[in-house]
């Protein structure tokens, strides 16, 4: 009986988790993160879905906002030092979802192809070639998604594309 209940619960979880995953963007479709009033995302600062968690982390990097990192990054306790090592200027970030998949119960992987579009002092110029995708690994904890880690191609950093 317990086995049947476990299977039923796992089957119920998979569709809802899969429904939370973003769709892959076409190669020429990009989203934009900049100042709070000029971002395409409507869920920055939230972590109810894997995409919201990734967009919140990207906004943390682009805006140099440590509080956004702490909301979604499991390593966020050292975020102030992390951000201090990055370029000091805030910038526009253009990105597309290159891949999204579940990697286990309560875990997901989202690959983001991004490009830095200039400092936030002017309108963004996003005609640069995107960097190879960075993969973000997420885990659901207490109903909220957390970025566990990310992996960029060699020589790349997600906040410096």
State the pairing for strand pair 107-119/91-104. antiparallel
d(CA 121, CA 106) in angstroms, rounded, equals 39
Q: Map residue 107 onto helix, strand or coil.
A: strand
Residues sharing a CB contact under 8 Å with residue 111, sequence separation 6 or more, in sequence order: 97, 98, 99, 100, 133, 134, 135, 136
Half-sphere exposure of 99 (CA within 13 A, CB side): 12
What is the chain's pLDDT, residue by residue, as a tens digit (161 residues)?
Answer: 444 444 444 444 444 555 589 999 999 899 999 988 889 999 999 999 999 999 999 999 899 888 999 999 977 666 777 777 766 688 899 999 999 999 888 999 999 999 989 888 888 888 778 889 999 999 999 999 999 999 987 655 554 43
Closest CA to 62 of 95, 99, 23, 30: 95
* pTM of the complete model beyond 0.85: no
Domains of the chain: 2-151 (3.10.450.50)
């Amino acid at each position: 009986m317990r086995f049947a209940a476990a299977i039923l619960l796992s089957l119920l979880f998979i569709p809802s988790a899969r429904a939370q995953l973003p769709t892959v963007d076409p190669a020429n479709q990009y989203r934009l993160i900049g100042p709070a009033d000029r971002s395409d995302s409507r869920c920055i600062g939230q972590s109810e879905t894997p995409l919201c968690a990734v967009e919140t982390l990207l906004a943390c990097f682009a805006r140099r906002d440590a509080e956004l990192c702490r909301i979604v990054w499991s390593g966020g306790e050292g975020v102030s030092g992390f951000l201090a090592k990055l370029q000091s200027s805030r910038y526009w970030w253009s990105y597309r979802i290159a891949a999204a998949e579940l990697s286990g119960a309560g875990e997901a992987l989202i690959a983001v192809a991004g490009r830095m579009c200039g400092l936030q002092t002017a309108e963004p110029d996003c005609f640069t070639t995107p960097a190879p995708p960075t993969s973000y690994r997420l885990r659901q904890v207490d109903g909220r998604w957390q970025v566990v880690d990310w992996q960029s191609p060699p020589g790349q950093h997600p906040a410096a594309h």
